[in-house]
Amino acid sequence: MSWRHETIIQDRPAMLWEPAGDDDGSSVSRVVDLESACTQIVPSWNIVAPRGGGFAVLLRVRRQDGVWSGWRVMGLWGTARVPATPAADAWPEVAVDTLRSDRPLVAAQYALLSSPDSAEPARVDRFALCCTALAEDDGPSTAARLPLRPVRLEVPFRSQFSDASGVGSRLCSPTCVAMVLSYYAAAPPFGEIAAACYDPRHDLFGNWSRAVQAAFGFGVRGYVTRFHDLEEAWGVLRSGRPIVASIAFTDGALPGAPLGHTDGHLVVVCGVTTDGDLLVNDPAAPPGAGTRVYPGEPFAAAWFGHRGTAYVFDPPAAGPIACAPP
């Protein structure tokens, strides 16, 4: 089974402001036409909100037959609560951070609702739509492709078991975010990162879009995307940006991994060797373990067989970003 991916990134999009009736602001994007029909969308965002407030992000989609879905809540932040929206049918489904449809989608529209207690409306700095569909052909191979030159980014290693919180097994996502923030010299105390990544609505730390918003609150923009192959990922690494990759593998399928198997785990890809192997900071390794070398083909299978999902973060802008705490 192979997948086709595209990621649409809108930086500082012009939003259509619509008063909500009680003087708090809501805004709706223009309709985003997708380049190709898809059946899954993972939205992610960088949203500026005043401290003490919050926001909700909603998404609706349009099928090939022109039918629009109802609005679906994709994320809450700060003091936001699930907004009252018109009753909707079971289509499309939302699984934490991913909107799924059993019928092809050709357009999307997102909305931002500021909490009533926000001092001013939240605003969108970046919004991304990662769209996925089954490919009709065999698609790109998951096998390693040898890059022209090796690359290594000196990303500081951190183990998800470094503190005594007792929930270390759940902390791969905030630990990866912490490593990337440290690489960009923008890391606050780990407890603050973990708190920002935690999704109380679903009781988990691994919500992809929330991790991206958490990093933005500490000054680093990013987005969720999906890669087709290692050659594509190599281009991002060559630009100086580490990649937080979502992997899954069966018993013994990834040689050298501290986990024997996993249905879903996040690691930081720091580079590629001349042989096409991957340099990886795996947070499941014990404290002090450092960067590991994973063979290219098994790692590619663990990553692209899991649809190639990843967080990509840009070097931080000058100065802190004002954002409501989670």
Q: Is 151-313 a domain of CATH 3.40.640.10?
A: no
Position 237 confidence tier, pLDDT thresholds 50, 70, 90: very high
Give the start-end residues of each E strand in the chain.
3-11, 16-19, 25-28, 32-48, 54-63, 72-78, 93-95, 98-114, 123-134, 151-152, 222-226, 243-249, 262-272, 278-281, 292-294, 309-313
How does the average pLDDT of the chain come out, rounded? 89
pTM flag (> 0.95): no
**What average pLDDT score do residues 188-194 get?**
95
Lowest mean pLDDT among 2-11, 141-150, 179-188: 141-150
Q: How far apart are CA 249 and CA 300, in angstroms?
A: 10
User: Tell me, what's the pLDDT at 326?
Assistant: 57
Express each pLDDT in 58-85 by its tens digit: 999 999 999 999 999 999 998 888 876 6
User: Tell me, what's the pLDDT at 63?
Assistant: 97
Check pLDDT > 60 for residue 321.
Answer: no
The full set of domain ranges for the chain reads 3-134, 151-313
| DSSP label at residue 199 | B
User: Tell me, what's the pLDDT at 21?
Assistant: 44
| Cross-strand bridge partners of residue 95 | 98
User: Tell me, what's the pLDDT at 291?
Assistant: 97
Class level of CATH domain 3-134: mainly beta
